Structures are given as structure tokens and as C-alpha cells.
Amino acid sequence: MAPEKVTVEFLNRWKAEGRPIPALTTYDYPTTRLLDETGIPFLLVGDSLGMVVLGYPDTTHVTMEHMVHHVRACARAKPRALLAADLPYRSYESPDQAVSNARRLMDAGAEAVKAEGGRVIQPQVEALRAAGIPFIGHLGMLPQHVVEEGGYRKKGRSESEVKALLADADALTEAGALAIVLELVIPDVARQITRRIPIPTIGIGSGPDCDGQILVTHDLIGTFPWFTPGFVKPKLNASQLMRQAVDDWIREVGR
Ligand code: KIV
């Protein structure tokens, strides 16, 4: 699917060509290598790391140290896929802080950074772009705000939410974002945003009409069986296979 190194320039080209962009999260060396061998073009070291790898209840516990450690591990796989990484909670509260933390992720091997929010982080996005750091936006349900918002709720239900989403998508585009993740956005609204902006939208739980789709890999392959979002249709029950393999081995040892 991706025969050559995928660079940030590919994303816009693929949108223009109407070529869908599949993307998955990754957090370690072997998973990055395995996913990359499938030819997937886009991998994200997401701060979902906090939940599916580190066992925290939400992403607000993830630190820069966690992200740098895991980005380094993923980058050691030298993926052909574009490797992006999340700026974690409270790591981009000012333009200067955003640039210095994004540089740490880039030095660790990320090729682009992602952060949550629209107009409120426009100065940070402009500063990142001025520093030559490729930026991916994230709108809709913002997991780093789950505590204040009191849960994971679909966005774009009311007229005011739709207006805000459109204004945020425009602001990120103007500030120089190279793509925007749309999380839990009502599908009609996600389609509207996708048609409106020239940069790709990458949906998660936002219907089929985004330019790309991203999933948390653990949800797709069933390695975090205790919770799977309703919009995911897992392709594998890896936890079950693991339990079976371990049971078989325990029986062998007991023989
Ligand atoms: O942290 C993450 O994994 C993400 C994706 C779900 C988009 O932000």
C-alpha cells in the first residue's frame, strides 16, 4: 500500500486523488514493525497509550516522559509509514511550550505532532508551523477534556456545536494543519467538514465519509478486551488467542 517512505506531503495528495487514508495507533517497537509491514501509511503514537498500555482511566495522566519513551521505541522500527505523536495533556498551553515539547517528540523520532482543540490553540499551531513542525489537529470529542466534559459524547448534535466545529476546522486549516482527526463527530457534520476543507480529515467514530479512518489498534485486534468502543468492529480476538495459548502451555508444563 505504501511502497516508499510516506511523508507529510502524501496526505494532501491522497485527499486530492480521493484515496482513502487508513491509520492506526502504535506504542512500541514490535507493533510498529508489524503494522508497518502491512503497508499502512499512517501511524500515530496516541496518548490513548495511557489507557490501553499504561492502565490509566483516561489520557489526562499521560506525560511528556511517557510519550518520548514510547515514540523512541516506535521510531526504532524505522517505519515507512508517517509516524505522528500526540502532545499530551497540558503540554501545549502556550506557543513556546508547544514548540519546545513538540521538538522533544520530533527529536525522539516523530515526524508530525497532534494536539486537541481548534481556535483556542491557533497561536500554538501557528508557532509550530513557523518552527517547521508538521501539525495534525483533533476536533470533536477531545479525550484530554473528558473529565471536564463528564464523558465521551458525540459532537455536532446542536447548531452551535456544528458552527463551532466548522470554525475550528477553518482555523486549524488556516494555521497550517496538515490533517484533522475528527473524533465522535456526527457523520453528516464530519462529511460537511471533509468537503469544506482542503486538508484530509481522519475519522474515528465519525462515519464513513472522512478522507481517512483511524482506530486504536488494541480495539481492532482485541488486545484490550475490557472495553471496546461501540463504533469498532474488532477483526481479531487476540486476548482470547493469548489465553488459549497460555492455557495450552500450562497444560503442557503440567504433563
Ligand atoms: O490517542 C489516540 O489514540 C488518538 C486517536 C484515537 C485518534 O488520538
**Full residue range of the structural domain in which residue 160 is found:** 8-215
Is the pLDDT at 215 greater than 80? The verdict is: yes
pTM listed for this prediction: 0.97
- Going from the Cα of 115 to the center of ligand 1, the distance in angstroms, rounded, reads 10
Q: Is 100 exposed, middle or buried (0-12, 13-18, 19+ CB in 10 A)?
A: middle
Evaluate whether residue 226 is within a structural domain: no
Give the cell for residue 97: 511550550
Domain count, the chain: 1
Evaluate whether residue 51 is within a structural domain: yes
Evaluate whether residue 243 is within a structural domain: no
End-to-end CA distance of the chain: 46
Evaluate whether residue 13 is within a structural domain: yes
- The reported pLDDT for the residue numbered 246 is 98
Evaluate whether residue 57 is within a structural domain: yes
Residue 160: give its domain's CATH number.
3.20.20.60
Evaluate whether residue 46 is within a structural domain: yes
Evaluate whether residue 247 is within a structural domain: no
Mean of pLDDT values over 55-80 = 98
Q: What is the DSSP string of 40-102?
A: -SEEEE-TTHHHHTT--SSGGG--HHHHHHHHHHHHTT--SSEEEEE--TTS-SSHHHHHHHH
- Going from the Cα of 3 to the center of ligand 1, the distance in angstroms, rounded, reads 25
183 is catalytic: yes
Is the pLDDT at 2 greater than 70? The verdict is: no
Is the pLDDT at 17 greater than 70? The verdict is: yes
Is the pLDDT at 56 greater than 70? The verdict is: yes
- The reported pLDDT for the residue numbered 3 is 66
Evaluate whether residue 113 is within a structural domain: yes
Mean of pLDDT values over 95-104 = 98
Mean of pLDDT values over 67-89 = 98
Q: Which residues line ligand 1 (CB under 6 A)?
A: 25, 44, 46-48, 86, 138, 181, 204, 214, 216
Taking CA atoms only, the protein residue closest to ligand 1 atom 1 is 46
**Please, which pLDDT band fits residue 149 given cuts at 50, 70 and 90?**
confident
